[in-house]
Amino acid sequence: MWQQLLFWLKRHFGFSSKEARGFLLVIPFLCLLVGASQVLAWAKNKNAEKLYQHYLNQVASLESAGEDLRTSPLPTFQKADTLWRTSSIKVSERIHRLPFSKSDSVVLQIVPGVGALTAGRIIKYRENLGGLIRVEQLKEVYGLKPETLPLIWEYFDFDTVAPRKLAINLLSVEELAKHPYISYQEAKVLVAYRKQHGWYSHAEDLLNIRLFKEDWVLKIRPYLNFTRIEKKDSIP
């Protein structure tokens, strides 16, 4: 049997007699390593299950004793596991609700989960946009976690109309392209069409440019001003 296996290896893989013997000796060690890794993985998962169950038992014990759990009883769990929503509701009842359009990066840090960097990104995006008027727009802010979005709306009042708008009949390509919803290519088309056909009267005029989809026009409509007075109302 051993000789037949050596002959088969030499014939099909081109092994020499020494290489074939070495290959057969390595196979048991490879099988042993694979088996050992499977056993270690099983033991690790088993230990993790016991640890998690112990954690749940501790939480249940503390809650049954009337404790308000704010930090994890185990060092292996991070702040993301803490329960702070009840506390945040209590805080929101003790402070004034401010207009979101008037809030700065310092005030925004009252919201759980919003630090200095995140607050700065929110303010910068709000200013570039001209104001946030829908909760879905907060999803467009880089680094803002989904669970933080409803909390922001608990602390601040939002405008139903964009506080600052683009004078689409007066602005240049570069000025229009500063808006997050308008690319440079789209701005070029808007200005070229305006020069060829005259000023826009309402958002529906943009649909005459067959290149643009209705969804995009509806998205930017709240941020457009159709004034024809020679005074620019631009977003820096």
What is the per-residue DSSP string for 63-75?
HHTT----S-SST
**Mean pLDDT, to the nearest integer, of 128-154?**
86
Q: Containing H/E element for 86? A: helix 85-92
Does 189 reside within a domain? yes
pTM value is: 0.56
Domain-embedded: residue 111: yes
User: What was the pLDDT predicted at 200?
Assistant: 96
| Token digits of residue 79 | 């702040």
pLDDT value for 178: 94
Residues 91 and 141 in one domain: yes
pLDDT level of residue 83 (50, 70, 90 thresholds): very low
d(CA 4, CA 111): 74
pLDDT beyond 90 at 223: yes
Compute the distance between CA of residue 124 and CA of residue 113 in angstroms, rounded to an integer.
18
Question: Tell me, what's the pLDDT at 121?
Answer: 92
Q: How many folded domains does the chain comprise? A: 3
Assign residue 126 the CATH number of its domain: 1.10.150
**CA proximity to 199, closest of 236, 171, 174:** 171
Q: How far is the CA of 22 from the CAs of 3, 29, 37, in angstroms?
A: 14, 12, 23
42: Cβ contacts below 8 Å, ≥ 6 apart: none
Indicate the average pLDDT of the chain: 78
Query: In this structure, is residue 234 part of a structural domain?
Result: no
Domain that includes residue 13, residue range: 2-64
